[in-house]
């Protein structure tokens, strides 16, 4: 792990921008099957910024969203 090359943040941002332009993120199972998509999704979830599809009781979901914003506020 120590011998990995370090990537400049600007260079990484450029590669991510290029990657997002090349892939179709609207596919049904994209975030579950794509290796890079899985990593991005995992870290967004850990940060509390991943939004799921709207389903179930909207009022209850809205209250939960407000609770989560108060708990995880960056």
Per-residue confidence (pLDDT) for residue 3, from 0 to 100: 57
Which residue carries 């960056």 as its tokens? 74
pLDDT band at 1 (very low <50, low <70, confident <90, very high): very low
User: What is the pLDDT averaged over residues 59-64?
Assistant: 84
Cα 9 from Cα 72, distance rounded (Å): 24
Residue 49, pLDDT > 80, answer: no
Per-residue confidence (pLDDT) for residue 7, from 0 to 100: 78
């Amino acid at each position: 792990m120590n011998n990995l090359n370090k990537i400049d943040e600007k260079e990484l941002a450029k590669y991510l921008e290029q990657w997002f332009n090349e892939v179709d993120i609207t596919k049904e199972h994209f975030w579950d099957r794509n290796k890079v998509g899985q990593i991005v999704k995992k870290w967004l979830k850990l940060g509390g910024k991943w939004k799921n599809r709207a389903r179930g009781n909207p009022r209850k979901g809205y209250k939960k969203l407000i609770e989560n914003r108060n708990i995880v506020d960056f």
